[in-house]
Amino acid sequence: MPSPRHPTRTVFIAAFAFSLAAPAAASPPALPASPAPPVPLVPPDTLAQRVAPCVACHQPQGRNDAFFPRIAGKPEGYLYNQLLNFRDGRRQYPMMTYMVGHLPEPYLREIAQFFASQHPPHRSSATGPARVEATAQMLERGRVLVRQGDAARGIPACIACHGQALAGVAPAIPGLVGLPRDYINAQFGAWKNKVRRAQAPDCMADVASRLTGADVAAVSAWLASQGVDDAARPAAAPAAPLPLRCGGVPDHGGAR
């Protein structure tokens, strides 16, 4: 039998091919890539981040619905007192009680300071005052009660405590303009029914007890129909001594 041609070359090529394949055959299968390490959860570090749940309801510019008041720009002392009232059961709203029930007073003070320092434009700056369904007679009655009160029935004017511009008085009396009508009605109802209370002496419960349902409807309609001045800030002090003593509010030389 004739010998194969170029036997040396054939053996060399076969050996070279085997040498290339051998390491691949001997290597272990590639392992899947390791997953990226989880990103550590970083707790909220700024007060603005911590109060995000508050802003979900109490939107800085105000809301279109009638159940959550705007708290941005309210006097610090007022906000602090209300947080205490929710925590201690003088005001009843389960979500608020749950959120502040275990918070210490220094932290509640920080929250109050944060919101008191916020002054974004109110939503009505762009849309105008809310449209209120009320007769001219009702609106006039509301204006008189807000501006003058009813001395014969022992009802002080709203402006006597809440400021001439109704923007509140530092450190603890809230502004009234910009509040939804239904919210105002609900708060008077809560005072009348003793669901909402304040630190003694509870002046607003006293005032609410002297108002009729028609009075409340007139006051809330007139207040809700007023535009909001974005430049307005709580007054530094009332224009005159307060007509009633109110728990948690400096009396400014008012009634005893």
Q: Where are the domains of the chain?
A: 47-224
> CA dist 95 to 68, 73, 114, Å?
12, 22, 20
Q: Is the pLDDT of residue 146 over 60?
A: yes
Whether residue 22 is predicted with pLDDT greater than 50 in this model: the reply is no
Q: Identify each DSSP E strand in 128-182 by its residue range.
A: none
Task: Check the annotation: does 57 bind a ligand.
Answer: yes
Beta carbons of 81 and 18 less than 8 angstroms apart? no
Report whether 58 belongs to an annotated binding site: yes
Structure tokens that stand for 206 in this block = 């006293």
pLDDT tens by residue, 192-247: 999 999 999 999 999 999 999 999 999 999 999 998 888 999 999 998 999 999 99
Residue 204 in marked binding region: yes
Residue 13: pLDDT band (50, 70, 90) is very low
> Can you list the pairs that 144-149 forms with residues at least 24 positions away whose Cβ atoms lie under 8 Å?
145/215, 145/218, 145/219, 145/222, 146/176, 146/219, 146/222, 146/223
The per-residue pLDDT for range 79-117, each reduced to its tens digit, is 999 999 999 999 999 999 999 999 999 999 999 999 999
The Cα 154–Cα 113 span in angstroms is 34
Is the pTM of the predicted complex or chain greater than 0.85?
Answer: no
248 has a pLDDT exceeding 60: yes
Instruction: Tell me the CATH architecture of domain 47-224.
Output: Orthogonal Bundle (1.10)
Whether residue 158 is annotated as binding a ligand: the answer is yes
CB 120 within 8 A of CB 61: yes
Question: Any binding-site annotation on 162?
Answer: yes
Is 99 known to sit in a ligand binding site? Answer: no
Residue 95 annotated as lining a ligand binding site: no
CA distance 162 to 164: 7
- For 32-82, write each residue's pLDDT tens digit: 677 777 877 777 689 999 999 999 888 877 665 567 898 999 999 999 999
62 close to 122: Cβ distance less than 8 angstroms: yes
The reply, when asked if residue 96 is annotated as ligand binding, is yes
Instruction: Tell me the range of 6-20, 92-106, 139-153 where mean pLDDT is highest.
Output: 139-153
